[in-house]
Amino acid sequence: METFLLCPPDYFDINYSINPWMTGEKINIEKAKSQWIDLVCAIQSEGGNVRTIIPEKDYPDMVFTANAGIVKNNTFIISSMRHSERKGESHYFRNWFKREEYDIVDIIPGVSFEGCGDVLVHQNSLIGGYGYRTDLLALEVAAGTLGISLFDLKLSDPRFYHLDTCFCKISDNKAIYYPKAFEKGEIEKLCGIIDLIPITEADARLFMCNSMRVNDTLLIPTIHSEIGKNISNNLGIKTRSVNVSEFLKSGGSIQCLSLRI
């Protein structure tokens, strides 16, 4: 059974701005809590298992558990957050994974790494984004630790500051991506590795690349998108819409809220 680690949004808020989406936004916390519960229910109803970590008052972005690190087998490579506002989250994730008896690996001191926000495993390779929140050296260390090859992709648009905001595997052999989020020539590194389907800026701004697979179903943030209709009608992939609009105000969506463990 696929298992995901989530963090209840008890203290979710926008108290600072560390990406372009956060400027001037206000959170409706009751709506956020309701949407988070809907996400949990969607994961469970599609056959996924949900574990939770206790939220901490001083870390409103702890709700975005994908940034905590990356898990492969029993190894947890823990993040080293770029911004001071989030650095303290790692202490609580370290304790959680230590209690669960994972082997915990740290990135080199002084090197930034933001977990599954910027990396994903595809077959026997690590696909990683760098340039805003994660350093290239961190991707090299992570791939070496896991014993897999690396495809590193340099990001170029601060609105799409993590790989999971502009690239998403939608099946075993297909991925959607927003072309202008990458430096020239970068996405072409994946040609022949996975079928690449470009999406429009309008769909990228809806965070369609922050969708997430649960078994054979792709959880998407909205059905009102060109790529969403294409996935359902032309690619034969089952989709399920989960509205997480309150979290989009902070620059995150479905994938950001879930860490596959």
Active-site residue set: 162, 256
Contacts of 76 (CB under 8 A, 6+ apart): 69, 70, 97, 102, 103, 104, 105
CA distance linking residue 174 with residue 169, whole number of Å: 6
CA distances from 76 to 10, 69, 113, 115, 145 (A): 25, 7, 13, 10, 10
Closest CA to 7 of 118, 77, 72, 93: 93
Closest CA to 209 of 243, 254, 173: 254
CB 105 within 8 A of CB 90: no
